[in-house]
């Protein structure tokens, strides 16, 4: 399907596009959700827990958009606060302890910016995740399912393998924000989306991501089950490969992957 | 924070920092943040200060203690013993990875204006006799925004420091990620954080000094990863910029929000250190860590090096930092003061 960058942005944000929990339901079984960062609060913008992927126990972490207005408000439109990132890190450390692979679903316009987020160290929370994920002694696979916005997305995106769904976007900032900074006009978002090179196809070409997972005709929302099957195939393949590596090999490869960007 | 005026005067006549007022003064005339002329108006208290006095006073207002922005070059003068720096990767620059329209022209203009190749200077120097790798971001270059050149230079500095068993000090000053390099800028956050993590794993010390302003992707990566985090008085430090937050929440921000003092209060900085005490403070911290990590590790490394050398005779090749093809170019500049003889990536800046 040939669509423009801006159309992809709109598709990625479209209501009705499958969210993290939709994929968790279809890809895993016995999902057991874990809550709270143990410091301050539970952040519902990030869902995390343990589940079986086939026979394999894994830790799953997903940025979660609401599927209706009420849920969207509860989940803060998938814009995490620092405690969301700290919860994610807590679950990753737990995964490391129990030798479970970590699977992340990235879907956020960006980390939330507000008074509380700043007071509680949004920057510190993201920074810590970047450094800790780099050293996490268990495989990590990250899939950008819709919108990967800025540092808020990267904080779940430091992984051994990073994928994007065919129509997902991943960028330094929203096209609107980008346009308002560089073109001093937020209505030029369409042009920005084009200039920013934020599509999965661009990023795989740059070597920023490892691959593009094809979406069903018309987009993931048309056939969520088919979409899940496509993701499953990729995860199965990669987990098998990653699990064969020693911890040292795994970490060295992860380091080199980001080192060369 | 009010500075002791007596102390400030003392420093005005002291030669400890070798700031060489005339030289810095000449550079100042090209700087946008300090207006030309004999007098400079302090943006905080509004008093007019003799520019010469301001420069001799480490660019701090001698009335109210306001810390003016300082260039990378000035910082090294204030910080390093004899102001002496062995600069690394002086010519490392970006090649416009997104092919962003107009970026190269703007870059060339900024380079000509500031005399910098990109927004950071990295190298090795001594602080009160203690060797350290030091990186200083320059707020005048694209507002200190981080793109691939800054990410690459920082990463190389951390890798060198890890190899040599040296502590790292980074002065941050950044408006965030460099928009024109898009997703590549974002990835620098992961890349530099990775190098920081490796350096940390080797038991080595990393100090960050947050200066005005430190925001965005820099805050959300290496700025907040220091073992010890210092900040200059009054510096704006945050993830999202104040304007963006005001727009998002639709209300005015409280006085002092996201200032260094706010960070200290909320537990995200260890100390606020006025500029005239910075060198001494850093010297003390370095001394306190003299025995930790560094030397022991170097010995261990040497042993393992020898072992590995015995295993693979080609070790030497892998060690040299090679330029990636395409992405970065060592830009050969026309014979300028920033040029260096030969192909060595080290040079001495006085």
| pLDDT tens sequence across A180-213 | 888 888 789 999 999 999 999 999 999 999 999 9
pLDDT at position B343, please? 39
Determine the Cα–Cα distance for residues B169 and B282; give it in Å rounded to an integer: 9
Strand partners of residue B169: B134, B207
In-domain check, residue B204: yes
pLDDT at position B20, please? 39
A114 vs B191, B217, B248: nearest CB: B248
Select from B147, B149, B146, B168 the least CA-distant residue to B157: B168
**DSSP letter string, B127-182:** ETTEEEEEEEE-TTSGGG-B-HHHHHHHHHHHHHHHHHT--EEEEEEESSB-GGGH
In-domain check, residue B231: yes
Low-confidence ranges of chain A (pLDDT < 50): none
What the block records as the tokens of A166 is 């065919």
Determine phi and psi for B209, rounding to 5 degrees: -115, 110
Q: Using the predicted structure, report yes or no on whether residue B305 has a pLDDT greater than 60.
A: no
In-domain check, residue B40: no
List chain A residues with CB under 8 Å of B194.
Answer: 130-131, 134, 158, 254-255, 258-259
Instruction: List the 18-57 stretch of A: residues with Cβ below 8 A of B.
Output: none
pLDDT by residue (tens digit) across B235-258? 999 999 898 888 888 889 999 999
pLDDT by residue (tens digit) across B255-277? 999 999 999 999 999 999 999 99
CATH number, domain with residue B154: 3.90.226.10
pLDDT at position B348, please? 53
Question: How many domains would you assign to chain B?
Answer: 1
Instruction: List the 145-204 stretch of A: residues with Cβ below 8 A of B.
Output: 150-151, 154-155, 157-158, 170-173, 177-178, 181-182, 195-198, 203
Q: Using the predicted structure, report yes or no on whether residue B13 has a pLDDT greater than 80.
A: no
In-domain check, residue B273: yes
In-domain check, residue B92: yes
pLDDT by residue (tens digit) across B39-88? 889 999 999 988 888 988 999 998 899 999 999 999 999 999 999 999 99
Q: Using the predicted structure, report yes or no on whether residue B33 has a pLDDT greater than 70.
A: no
pLDDT at position A184, please? 85
Q: Which domain holds residue B230?
A: 76-296
pLDDT by residue (tens digit) across B84-102? 999 999 999 998 999 999 9
A247 — contact with chain B (CB < 8 Å)?
Answer: no
DSSP alpha helices (H): ranges in chain A?
A: 5-13, 20-27, 69-74, 82-97, 115-119, 122-135, 150-154, 175-182, 189-196, 200-206, 224-243, 247-259
pLDDT at position B8, please? 33
Average pLDDT for chain B: 80
> Looking at this predicted complex, what is its ipTM?
0.96
In-domain check, residue B122: yes
In-domain check, residue B61: no
In-domain check, residue B111: yes
Residue in chain A nearest B155 by alpha carbon: A259
**For chain A, what is the total number of helices (H) and then of strands (E)?**
12, 8
Determine the Cα–Cα distance for residues B77 and B58; give it in Å rounded to an integer: 10
């Amino acid at each position: 399907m040939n669509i423009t960058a801006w159309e992809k942005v709109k598709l990625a944000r479209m209501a009705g596009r499958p969210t993290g929990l939709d994929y968790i339901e279809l890809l895993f079984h016995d999902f057991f959700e874990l809550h709270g960062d143990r410091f301050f609060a539970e952040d519902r913008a990030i869902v995390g827990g343990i589940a079986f992927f086939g026979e394999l126990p894994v830790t799953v972490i997903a940025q979660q958009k609401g599927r209706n207005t009420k849920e969207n408000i509860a989940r803060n439109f998938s814009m995490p606060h620092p405690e969301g990132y700290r919860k994610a890190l807590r679950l990753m450390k737990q995964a490391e302890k129990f030798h479970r692979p970590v699977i992340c679903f990235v879907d956020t316009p960006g980390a939330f910016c507000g008074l509380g987020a700043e007071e509680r160290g949004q920057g510190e929370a993201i920074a810590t995740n970047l450094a800790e994920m780099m050293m996490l002694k268990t495989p990590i696979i990250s899939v950008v399912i819709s919108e990967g916005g800025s540092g808020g997305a990267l904080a779940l995106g430091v992984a051994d393998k990073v994928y994007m769904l065919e129509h997902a976007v991943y960028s330094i900032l929203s096209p609107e924000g980008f346009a308002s900074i560089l073109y001093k006009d937020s209505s030029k978002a369409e042009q920005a989306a084009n200039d920013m090179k934020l599509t999965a196809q661009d990023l795989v070409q740059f070597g920023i991501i490892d691959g593009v997972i094809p979406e069903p005709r018309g987009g993931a929302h048309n056939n969520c089950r088919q979409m899940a099957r496509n993701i499953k195939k990729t995860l199965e393949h990669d987990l098998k490969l990653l699990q064969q590596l020693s911890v040292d090999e795994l970490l060295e490869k992860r380091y080199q992957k980001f080192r060369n960007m | 924070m009010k500075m002791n005026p007596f102390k400030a005067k003392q420093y005005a006549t002291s030669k400890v920092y070798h700031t060489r007022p005339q030289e810095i003064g000449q550079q100042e005339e090209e700087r946008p943040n300090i207006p030309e002329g004999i007098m400079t108006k302090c943006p905080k208290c509004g008093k007019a200060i003799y520019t010469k006095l301001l420069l001799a006073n480490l660019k701090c207002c001698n009335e109210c203690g306001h810390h003016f922005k300082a260039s990378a070059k000035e910082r090294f003068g204030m910080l390093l013993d004899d102001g002496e720096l062995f600069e690394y990767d002086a010519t490392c620059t970006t090649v416009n990875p997104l092919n962003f329209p107009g970026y190269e022209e703007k870059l060339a203009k900024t380079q000509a204006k500031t005399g910098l190749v990109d927004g950071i200077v990295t190298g090795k120097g001594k602080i009160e006799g203690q060797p350290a790798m030091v990186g200083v971001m320059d707020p005048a270059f694209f507002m200190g925004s981080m793109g691939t050149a800054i990410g690459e230079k920082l990463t190389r500095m951390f890798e060198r420091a890890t190899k040599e068993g040296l502590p790292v000090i980074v002065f941050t000053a950044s408006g965030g990620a460099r928009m024109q390099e898009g997703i590549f800028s974002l990835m620098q956050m992961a890349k530099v954080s990775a190098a920081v993590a490796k350096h940390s794993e080797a038991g080595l010390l990393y100090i960050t000094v947050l200066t005005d302003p430190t925001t965005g992707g820099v805050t959300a990566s290496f700025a907040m990863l220091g073992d010890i985090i210092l900040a200059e008085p009054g510096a704006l430090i945050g993830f999202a910029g104040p304007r963006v937050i005001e727009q998002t929440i639709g209300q005015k921000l409280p006085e002092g929000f996201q200032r260094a003092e706010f960070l200290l209060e909320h537990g995200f900085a260890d100390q606020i250190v006025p500029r005239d005490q910075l060198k001494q403070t850093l010297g003390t911290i370095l001394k306190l860590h003299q025995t930790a990590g560094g030397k022991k590790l170097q010995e261990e490394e040497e042993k393992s090096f020898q072992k590995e050398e015995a295993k693979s005779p080609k070790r030497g090749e892998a060690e040299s930092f090679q330029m990636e093809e395409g992405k970065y170019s060592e830009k050969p500049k026309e014979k300028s003061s920033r040029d260096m003889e030969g192909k060595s990536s080290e040079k001495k800046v006085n």
